[in-house]
Amino acid sequence: MPVLGLVLALLLLGSAPKKSVQNVTRTDGKEFVEWCIADEQASSEELQMALDWACGKGGADCAEIQPHRPCFLPNMVKDHASFAFNSYYQKFKHKGATCYFNSAAMITDLDPSHGSCKFPYLP
């Protein structure tokens, strides 16, 4: 009988509604927002492979990191990867996408936008 009670408790916990990150409010009253960027500790090779995947099969919108576009400069793999990772994450996070990219990415709550390069955030 104790096992049955444990199984029922686990079933109830598993069916409890889950809080979405987008519904969380910070202590200052503002909505919690997050972007997906390249991890500073990832190698250029790791970042390039993840960037190629994100802009290819991943379906990220990488138009803004093309030459003569707002996010092309600085022309560094880390910067291009950050934009592509965030594009992918924002586009697919509601479908279960993560900010992982084989450990080459991380979540930040600091807006990585700079100058005319705006990193999208979708609630």
pTM of the shown model? 0.77
d(CA 31, CA 15): 26
Interaxial angle between packed helices 77-92 and 44-55, expressed in degrees from 0 to 180 and rounded to the nearest 10 = 40
Q: Is pLDDT at 7 greater than 60 in this prediction?
A: no
Which has the closest alpha carbon to 65: 57, 76, 53, 56?
Answer: 76
Q: Kindly indicate the confidence band of residue 22, based on its pLDDT and cuts at 50, 70 and 90.
A: very low
State how far Cα 62 lies from the chain centre: 15
Strands 105-108 and 35-38: antiparallel
User: Where are the extended beta strands (E) located within 1-123?
Assistant: 35-38, 105-108
- The secondary structure element, H or E, covering residue 14 is helix 2-15
Give the model confidence (pLDDT) of 41-94 as tens digits.
999 999 999 999 999 999 999 999 999 999 999 999 999 999 999 999 999 999
Query: 101: left (phi > 0), else alpha (psi -120 to 50), else beta?
Result: left
pLDDT of residue 2: 55
**pLDDT reading at 11 higher than 70:** no
